Amino acid sequence: MPSEKEIVHIIDDDEALRESLTFLLRTVQIEVQSHPSAIAFLDALPDTSSSCIITDVRMPGMSGVELLRRLKELNVAVPVIVITGHGDVPLAVEAMKSGAIDFLEKPFDNDVLLASVQSALRQQNGETKRHTERVEIESRLAALSNRERDVLGGLVAGRANKQIAFDLGISPRTVEIYRANLMNKMQAGSLSDLVRMALIVGIVGSE
């Protein structure tokens, strides 16, 4: 399955800055989409699964900080780098508190910007992979019977088959059968693999 194309969304009312950043990023083969305002970006709301945002904190209509808050309300998880003019550092700090991952003060060094973008894209790709893995695990979990889930809870708690059998009022041999079935359904190659998957989706051992 091919990896999704990485895209940087530049959101700024300064057309010259947008063009300058677009040129810089394309010199290192990074795809760019340019938006004249936060509202224009939200109206279009493109797929952000393999992307990051560069935005100014001070823009007419909707500021960078307001954009961060709106993305949070919409449950859009995307790394945001904010750029600030001289004297806007307090605004940048507010943006960081609202979820921005980095801020750069103008005039910024091109290499510093590129390093920040690459870091943001790596972070987003990692989140996308983790989300995909969670969805796959949850799909496998949905195929388990209630009893198989009970056995899974015991295994995650670190209990031996005999203890799980005692807790559930069934025979150790029956536990072995349920365990083999759930290992197969969860596509787990080992007990540690099974426990890791259970922890990813938030399953904790039963008391």
Determine the pLDDT at residue 50. 78
Determine the pLDDT at residue 66. 93
pTM of the shown model: 0.64
> What domains sit in the chain, N to C, each tagged with a CATH number?
7-130 (3.40.50.2300), 143-200 (1.10.10.10)
Determine the pLDDT at residue 70. 93
User: Within the chain, which residues score under 70 in pLDDT?
Assistant: 1-4, 86, 204-207
How many of the other CB atoms lie within 10 Å of CB of 48? 18
124-134 pLDDT tens trace: 877 777 777 88
- Give the C-alpha separation, 166 to 172, whole Å: 8
How many of the other CB atoms lie within 10 Å of CB of 103? 21
Tell the burial category of 158 from Cβ atoms under 10 Å away from its Cβ (0-12, 13-18, 19+): exposed
Determine the pLDDT at residue 172. 93
How many of the other CB atoms lie within 10 Å of CB of 142? 8
28-60 pLDDT tens trace: 999 999 999 999 999 988 777 778 999 998 899
CB 158 within 8 A of CB 205: yes
